[in-house]
Amino acid sequence: MIKITFPDGTIKEFEKGTSSLAIANSISVSLAKKCIIAKVNGELYDLARPIDVDATFELITGNTEVLQDVLNHSCAHLLATAIKELYPNACFGVGPAIEEGFYYDMDLGDVKLTEEDLVKIEKKMRSLAEAALVIERKEVSKEEALEIFKNDEYKTELIEELPDTEVITVYSQGSFTDLCRGPHVANTKWLKNFKLLNVSGAYWRGDSDRNQLQRVYGTCFFDEASLKAHLEVLEERKKRDHRRIGKELELFMLSEFGPGFPFWLPNGMVLRRKLEDFWYKIHTENGYLLVQTPIMLNKELWEISGHWFNYKENMYISTIDEKEFAIKPMNCPGGMLVYKNNIHSYRDFPLRVGELGLVHRHEASGALNGLFRVRNFTQDDAHIFITEDQIEEEIGRIVDLYDYVYSVFGLKYHIELSTRPEDKYIGKIETWDKAEAALARALESKGISYKLNPGDGAFYGPKLDFKLRDSMNRIWQCGTIQLDMNLPERFDLTYVSETGEKVRPIMLHRALFGSFERFIGILIEHYAGAFPLWLAPRQMMIIPVNNDLHMEYAKKVQEVLKAAGIKAEIDARNEKMNYKIRESQTNKIPYTLVLGDKEVANNEITYRHHGTTNSVTMALDEFIKMVTDEVKNFGK
């Protein structure tokens, strides 16, 4: 017999090998019908999996994030099953659940999938779902697994990397068997509400020297209404594509003469400069010293930093005076030289040094994507030098800064703490433990919850990642705080302690936007190009009803706005007024001002705010105060 402890503390005995489904049925048949998976001693279990030991036990029902991941991963297997039936020679890479869906990488030989093929695959998937195929879990030895997948080079490679003693699990549904840790839904009847979204290329294990597979993306929900709502959101996201809006609003351009190197157009430069001014202002107010380091530095520096040996293939290299130089892919090594330019004392700390540094990285051409993935971008870096006992307080200050900035743009976020990798790391475990604990305490002292990512830290230190959620409910990785135990050692950085000894400083890497290019791309889609007044590249459009009668007053209003720091344009074209108003709205200009006889006579303006059809008339001086207050108070 085994003892099962329920969430309310109740303990019941069951036969050894009893499944979660059987336990659920012993409580309530209706409850069992609602269950998808169970949590046994903290581990997710398929409902049919036998329980052989005493355990804490929880049945998981309802549309939780955990269940959504299980559903999507199960649907990835459904996709693979359909593919195998339609293309018997198919071999498979990996098929995980991802944010809002799933994908599966596959090798179909000479067959290249099209959008029409996806329709055919969906039809097969639906018939498999309707068949309510039972999804069975089985434990096998490494030898057995190699025999099962002997005709699939990708699965074979994954299996061969596993320890000989490891128990391997496979899942089967119908005639298809897959290598997988699970868990999964009980049968395919749960997988009826899905949609395949697109197909793209993906190198096996992310290595451009390996085979390129085809990656099919999809999504799955528990009910049809949720699927429909999600597909509507996806359509809205397409409309917000920053590449399309960037072209329409003339913010930036891309050229075949420089793939991955964006050109900033006049409107885009206004937007970018406003964002930079905001960045400089908040950093100056928060005690940062600002520097600029060279864009190109010689090979010896990159050897010291380790980039030459570990990142060379992504660097642009040239020869100057018979010596090798590299354009910087990161600002950090230059920042180390800035630190070494002076002798530092503990009294200098915290020393906060910020830089908007233009960096270049050789990204694969197939990975380039508008402003999201480029080959040159401006990193908003900061390197903060502190003593060990200042870690917690300084992390708290950075979190406060991030919280303020993201709130300005209406971006919600959550934080993930990534800890020491199991194998590849530098430094002492005690130092890692202390650093991780300090990061956690800094968040806990502010009442901030976080997700723990065990073993996902960089080799040189633990980190905090800020995952932003935009207006379309998408997650973006932008802000990061990394504790570095590597570069201070490599560059022999020291400071003079209170006792007069030379001591290694603790160094924090810190990026708030991540990169200006990517962050602007995110903002374009977040706002759908309709930027708030303070950030908008084109703030106001003045439309005289009659150019002959109202132009003089229009110019006066423009000058008054200019004097107040507001950029206003006059549409003096010989077009109909309603056409001009519609075009101003299409160009997402925050305020459209219409000036006619009444406005001239009373020193007034009539405005329409973007996105509304209401017209408001008010005195010019009241309007000036309203909009200048709007700009002045944007961060409050």
d(CA 290, CA 149): 57
> For the chain, how are helix, strand and coil distributed in percent, rounded to 5?
40, 30, 35
d(CA 121, CA 124): 5
Phi/psi for 544 (5° steps) reads -70, 135
Strand, helix or coil at 34? helix
Can you list the alpha helix ranges (DSSP code H) found in 87-219? Answer: 115-130, 142-148, 153-160
Strand, helix or coil at 48? coil
Cα distances (Å, whole numbers) of residue 576 to 23, 572, 612:
74, 11, 20
In 10 A of CB 216, how many CB atoms?
A: 25
d(CA 519, CA 93): 32
Cα distances (Å, whole numbers) of residue 377 to 13, 278, 342, 353, 470:
61, 18, 29, 19, 21
Got the DSSP string for 76-98? HHHHHHHHHHHSTT-EE----EE
Q: Which residues are catalytic?
A: 332, 361, 379, 381, 383, 463, 509
d(CA 394, CA 36): 44
d(CA 492, CA 337): 11
d(CA 322, CA 143): 56
Phi/psi for 387 (5° steps) reads -85, 165
- Interhelix angle 266-285/516-527, rounded to 10 degrees, is 110
Strand, helix or coil at 618? strand
